[in-house]
Amino acid sequence: MTGRDLDPTLLRLLGSDEPELDCDECFAELDRYVELELRGAPADALVPGLRAHLVGCPACAEEHESLRALLELDSVS
């Protein structure tokens, strides 16, 4: 059995041992990270630990999705 086969609830309970930022660090880097993503730059390499935090923290993940969506909206309006 690999991690991919785990029940989703188990995955959320166990999390990942990948190094990750905390919520405050994520907030501090979020604007830079999203702009890097939208430019097609290697955001995960340039801001290590942020993606892992988004996987483990639904609240920060929501705010990441919203910032990205808002900037995408701005870019076409």
Which residues in this chain contact another protein in the complex, by CB under 8 A? 1-3, 5-10, 12-17, 20, 22-24, 27-28, 30-32, 34-35, 38-40, 56-59, 62-63, 66-67, 69-76
Shortest Å distance, C-beta 7 to another protein:
4
Shortest Å distance, C-beta 62 to another protein:
6
Nearer to another protein, 8 or 45 (CB): 8
Shortest Å distance, C-beta 45 to another protein:
13
CA distances from 17 to 20, 32, 34 (A): 8, 24, 23
Name the region of 40 (left: φ>0; alpha: ψ -120 to 50; beta: rest).
left
Classify 18 as helix, strand or coil: coil
Which tokens hold the place of 62? 């929501």
